[in-house]
Structures are given as C-alpha cells and as structure tokens.
Amino acid sequence: MGEKKKVTMIGVPMDLGQMRRGVDMGPSAIRCAGVKEKLESLSFEVEDLGDIPVEQRDDEKGLYTSEKLKNLTENAGANQLLAEKVSSIVQSGSFPLILGGDHSIAIGTLAGVAKHYENLGVIWYDAHGDLNTEETSPSGNIHGMPLAVSLGLGHADLTNIGGYTPKVKPENVILIGARSLDEGERALIREKGIKVYTMHEIDRLGMTRVMEEAIAYLKERTDGVHLSLDLDGLDPVECPGVGTPVAGGISYRESHLAMELLEEAGILTSAEFVEVNPVLDEKNKTAEVAVALIGSLMGEKLL
C-alpha cells in the first residue's frame, strides 16, 4: 500500500452573502452528517482544520455597508483568510474540501486554488449562475456574485482577493443545473460564451451525456478542475435546507451519477459544498445529501 491520499477540510460559517439566517451552521451540519467518517471509510487521511472565523452579523448595527454590496468588508475579510488557508492546503499536496456557508465563499476558495494552476477549470453545479455584479444584482447579495468575481468582474475588494485577478477564464467554466438566471447574468453568459447546461439540456440529453461532454471539454483545456456545488442545484424535494430553492432541479440519482463520472475521470483537484441551511432543513436531510455526494465524488462504489 502506498501513502494514504489526503483530504483537508475547512468550514466557512458564512451567512453574510445573503439575508436568510442559519446557513452559517452549514459546516456543522455537514460534519454532523458524518463527512469525516465517510472519507475515512474510503481510506483517505482526513484533516479537519475547523472553521474560518467569520464576523458575526449584527443587523442592529447595520452591517450592511451598502445596499448594492451587503456586508462587503466583512465578506472580503473572511474570503481573504479562506484564500490563504486553501492555498496552503493545495501547496501541501492535500485535496481541499470546503464546507459552506453561503456561496460567496467560492470567492475565497477559487482565489486560493487558482494561483496553483495555469488554466483552472470550474464546474458550477447550481440552480443559479452567480454571475451578478453590483450593477446587475437585484438584491445586493454577494452570494449571487462569486462566479462573476472570479472572472474578474465586480468590486475590487472582492476581485483582488489573493492579490490577483481574474482567477478563471470564462472558457474554462461550465454551469450545470441552471434554471434561474437574472437578465444581467444571461447577457454575461452570451457575451463571454460561458458553457451552460440548463435543466432543459439535462432533461434532453441525460446527465451521462452532459457530464461526458463537460469532462471532455475541460480535459482539453485545463490543468486542474474545481467543483463548486450548491445544494440548491438539486431539486428542493431532495434538498429542502437551502436559502434560495428553485423547483424542477437535478435529482438525487442524477447528482450521484454526475459525481461518479467526475471521480472516474480523475480530473478533480478541489471541491466545495455550499448553501446547506439546517434552519430550513428537515432532520439534516440536505447535509446528509451533501455527505452522500461527497462519498460518490471521492470514490464510494456500491460494489
């Protein structure tokens, strides 16, 4: 037997990227659902670095510094810390697994990962595009902006996290599961030529073909691939504990298949699972789905 493969987990109890309370408990919920035990059962050596400190939200004090970019300073501060931690995990040769928290944490994750690759590929598994900027965002919630920020679009306090921008090129990004896009996001997808598999394509082509195409596309042009999986990519029937549920999502079985195909392809170099909100959940069901998907992604087989 060679050395055990290493996974290093880090939790980000971030709830500043949106308005609903409870998503800061996501990392705890995923740990309670047995993520470490699951990975250890798959023969990984698992290190859990605990949680990144995130400033507590104090709605009384008006932490919303700007209606356009709510909690900008606090969000940027936590993401900068996350970027440094993630970068050191990659450097150590371990697989970074980040647990959220709202999707704004992808800003820090990608800032930490992308500097170690020439051409990082990103699979954005999500009901939403997260491609808003302060100009296009209907809400000012930063969790709707992380992919735009990572492409170098948005407020400098966010785009320059990690000391460089952009983190990824639009041609190296694939959206899977999209079914709720704002007008500004649609325009940006067209303008940048971002590859998107909406629910229409998943229904029409089937998940196997979608993933095979996505994998072949990224294999050609990238030297590492990050998976950013928002649990609201799945149907709310399967994952009720998310802040922005959109009906008609990817099924539990399709998601397992997608994870298994990714694992078989051997292209994944980092991953994050975000938007688990136990306050909105039923008996920790959504965190349990997250752990089951992490299992498939890391090589769990039925036989």
Active site residue 126: yes
Residues in binding site for Mn(2+): 103, 126, 128, 130, 230, 232
Q: Please report which confidence band the pLDDT of residue 56 belongs to, taking 50, 70 and 90 as the band edges.
A: confident
Q: Residues 126, 185, 260, 272: which is the catalytic one?
A: 126
CATH among 3.40.50.1260, 3.40.800.10, 3.40.50.1820, 3.30.70.890 for 5-297 = 3.40.800.10
Q: Residues 232, 254, 281, 288: which is the catalytic one?
A: 232
Q: Residues 15, 24, 74, 103: which is the catalytic one?
A: 103
pLDDT tens for 229-247 read 999 999 999 999 999 999 9
pLDDT tens for 171-211 read 999 999 999 999 999 999 999 999 999 999 999 999 999 99
Helix axes 285-297, 252-265, angle to 10 degrees: 30
What pLDDT does 64 receive? Answer: 54
Active site residue 134: no
Active site residue 275: yes
Q: Residues 143, 185, 254, 281: which is the catalytic one?
A: 143
Residues in binding site: 103, 126, 128, 130, 230, 232
Active site residue 143: yes
Active site residue 230: yes
Residue reference for tokens 């300073």 = 73
Active site residue 232: yes
